[in-house]
Amino acid sequence: MENLFDLSGKTAVITGGTGVLCSQMAIKLAACGVKAAVLGLDEDQGQLIARQIRDQGGQAIGLVADVLDKESLNVARDIVLSEFGSIDILINGAGGNKKEASCSADLDFFSLPQEALEWVFNLNFLGTILSCQVFGQPMVDQKKGSIINISSMASLRPLTNVLAYGGAKAAINNFTSWLAVHLNHNYSKDIRVNAIAPGFFLTKQNEFLLVDEETGQMTERGKRILDHTPMARFGTPEDLLGAVLYLASEASSFVNGTVIPIDGGFSAYAGV
């Protein structure tokens, strides 16, 4: 069993690696012997996470990269290859939502600004495609690799209000299946592309929907989510780590083109 999950010596690129969820993925992978490249827009935070990993005996570098700027991704890729020699795992964690792209009491569907919709869709969907183009190329060259996209519960069951975010994550699901087939048919049978679909986690991108900014109390939306989650709690970053290790390792060697919900049963429950 240990051999199935052995990741020692592999190299992982984690976009959005400075965020709450993906930073924990980077730290966990490094603890399993993976050389971690932590990518994000916040240079100080990236360096902090990389230093934390190194202080714990792991190997890591922090790099500034914008998933919507292909040239910055190319620069990061070249640095990773120079430092670590390969790219075996790609986690596409860069993404997010914003108030201006979500319906609310103050902003109805007909008033959602185009700029906000484009920002959310491009960050989540186009950013994933560009990262796969740049960091997937070394996998093609070495004929092996695992790509893990970050989807969302909003992609599987349309959720009220989060129009752009849900649409972008649904597009990621389709792209995950498409890319898995495309890479196998055209380049290598040993490159896998899968996604995880987290349920509801208290992060910066959705906290404004779940917790009232003024009172700090659960919003009505937050209460409804917990009512429809059989495990009756929000997720924690640690809840994602098992699935990430599974998809990154040979334990999932015949798993390809899938989207795995990690949601406490939310997607299984019809509400009755």
Residue 205 has what pLDDT?
60
Which residues have a catalytic role annotated? 165
- For residue 170, give the nearest of 145, 149, 192 by alpha carbon: 149
CATH 3.40.50.720 residue ranges for the chain? 11-199+237-262
Residue 37 has what pLDDT?
98
Cα gap 239→221, rounded to integer Å: 22
Q: Which fold has domain 11-199+237-262?
A: Rossmann fold (3.40.50)
Residue 206 has what pLDDT?
63
Mean pLDDT by 10 residues, the chain (272 residues): 91 97 97 98 97 98 98 98 98 95 95 98 98 98 98 94 96 98 98 97 71 82 92 94 98 98 96 88
For the record, the structure tokens of 33 come out as: 């012997």
